[in-house]
Amino acid sequence: MKQLLKALLMMTLLVASSSYSTSLTATSAAGGFSLAPQSNNQLQSSAPEFLPVQQAFQVKALIENQRLSLNWTIADGYYLYRKGFKLNSSSNSTQLGAPNFPDGILKWDEYFEADVVVYYAQTRFEVPFTSDNPQFQIQLESQGCADAGLCYPPRKQVIDIDLTTGTAIVNEASNRATKTAATDNIASTPLWLILLFAMAGGLILNLMPCVFPVLSIKVLSFTQQHQTTIDRQRHGLAYTAGVVGSFVIIAATMLSLRAGGEAIGWGFQLQSPGFVLFLVYLFMLLGLSLSGYMQLFSGLMSIGQSSSTNNGLRSSFMTGVLATTVASPCTAPFMGPALGFAISQTSAVALLVFAFLGLGMALPFVLLTLVPSLTQKLPRPGQWMDNLKQFLAFPMYLTAIWLLWVVGRQTGVDIVIAICVGLILMVMAIWLWQLAGRNHSHSLTKVLSAGLFVVAIAYPSFKLEGNDPSKWQDYSSKRLAALRQSGEAVFINLSADWCITCLVNERIAMGDAFYKALEGNNITYLKGDWTHKDPQITQLLNQYNRNGVPLYLVFPKGSGPAEILPQLLTKTSLIDALERAN
């Protein structure tokens, strides 16, 4: 078995050297590492082409009445940060005022882990200034990203201003500053070091809260088994194959989607609310299993207790698949450079990097199987193992809560409530199943349990499929004034999540017929959410002598006062009011 493992390792290194030589040929032909190489068709098909920062974000400066105007033209698929914009004067005789930013788009940013304002297509910034010198310089700093996953470093430019001629010329501060620093570092890094980073990242991945419990139970199972060294090596190899194979499959899927034009990266599966929903249930089940409430995953977390060798090896393989699945929400140090390198290389090199990520994650078991003396240093079994196993359930529960928050951000609070109901039904189904098992009968109870389990999974799934995007616009006084000035008919619904009457009205009266009436009569639907304090909504309520929600207003087409609808709506009365507004 040692010879087999050594042969596997030698084969991997052989593939690494041959793949890297191919990669070096491609990069040398292109004149160096590039985000968008032009001489390698295979590389172009497996990775998106990123524009140079000068082409992605073009800016022109104008001087108008002591104001500096910066007109940005942004390429399709790229966006500019508002918070990345900075201006500094080169002399004390020049004073800059506060920039005047237009409204942008609120976007969740993974790097800043916050909602940030960004600009697409084009935008314009205006900055007032005063200067005693007719000629001076202003340093401009900006930063932008591509939807496909690349964020450029802060870009520094210099604006040469001549007030005598009224000109402002934008120049790059340094040719070197326009290059991506991270790209330069990766380009000069040998492949063996990138693979070492990948292996280290996979190794540290074992310490992540969502992976460590599964790994711990697997390691402790070595102390409970009376197996020969050969058996342990077989199971370790099967576990490694499960981990590495799963990483390669995820990588192949990601690269295929990227080649098809999808802007995705590591963890792309977490962008699907359906997959996140699956992980919520999986982590909850794992937690219940570790807490001792059920033994659903006991076979996967053992090391082949079955008397059948094939079943035992299959169990170890599936444990590797399970470990990779629960690792999908996690990232670890050293993974960033390796993943950044992988997505810009040929498919063979990229898959190799992901294989080393999996190899690093499986490394603890590889060491336990190759060095039998390490197994003897593991603590002896005892009651403490059961206590530790139960304690390790709590990271699983916390991970499930975090994933619940993620799917809530992706969808809404209604889906979160549906998932919570589904989890309760799932626990109830497990309780009924175990109750029937203790009584050694009651097949009807088992049927009811199975039915509840199906409902527990199906209910939030159906809610997820029916989670259509909002068919209204957020209320604001400016938006209402603009619509009324153009003579459009408007329906306003002032509501709140804690208003039971509001929720009942929306459930009963605002169905498909309501939306068809809006569309048929060309009426704009504005909804004001008073769940949180909003002065504009409060002002509108006071305007119509109301001190609380709900408030329903229908503004007719053209001009005229709004019709105030009753607080208890019916489908017929609401549609009739909409018909009168046209």
Residue 14, pLDDT score: 37
Residues 336, 280 within the same domain: yes
Contact 80, 144 (CB under 8 A): yes
On whether residue 493 sits in a domain, the answer given is yes
Average confidence (pLDDT) per 10 residues, the chain, 582 residues: 41 37 33 33 47 89 87 91 84 82 82 79 89 86 84 86 85 54 53 85 79 67 60 81 88 75 61 82 84 60 43 76 75 67 77 89 81 68 73 84 83 84 89 76 77 84 60 87 90 88 86 88 91 87 87 91 91 92 84
On whether residue 364 sits in a domain, the answer given is yes
Last residue of a domain, one of 112, 145, 179: 179
User: CA 446, CA 449: separation in Å to the nearest integer?
Assistant: 5
Residues 238, 223 within the same domain: yes
Q: How many CB atoms lie within 10 A of CB 536?
A: 14
Residue 312, pLDDT score: 66
Residue 268, pLDDT score: 65
On whether residue 67 sits in a domain, the answer given is yes
Residues 98, 174 within the same domain: yes
Length of the chain: 582
Residues 485, 371 within the same domain: no
Residues 267, 386 within the same domain: yes
Q: Which residues contact 481 (CB under 8 A, 6 or more apart)?
A: none
Residues 194, 143 within the same domain: no
* SS3 of residue 500 by DSSP: helix
Our count of domains for the chain comes to 3
Last residue of a domain, one of 128, 162, 179: 179
User: CA 87, CA 407: separation in Å to the nearest integer?
Assistant: 38
Last residue of a domain, one of 179, 213, 239: 179
Q: What is the CATH number of the domain that holds 168?
A: 2.60.40.1250
Residues 280, 391 within the same domain: yes
Residues 112, 151 within the same domain: yes
Whole-prediction pTM: 0.52
Q: What is the CATH number of the domain that holds 490?
A: 3.40.30.10
On whether residue 355 sits in a domain, the answer given is yes
Residues 172, 189 within the same domain: no
Residues 104, 218 within the same domain: no
On whether residue 299 sits in a domain, the answer given is yes
Residues 243, 382 within the same domain: yes
Residues 244, 130 within the same domain: no
User: CA 152, CA 121: separation in Å to the nearest integer?
Assistant: 17
On whether residue 23 sits in a domain, the answer given is no
On whether residue 387 sits in a domain, the answer given is yes
User: CA 248, CA 353: separation in Å to the nearest integer?
Assistant: 9
Supply the range of the domain harboring residue 515: 473-581
On whether residue 449 sits in a domain, the answer given is no
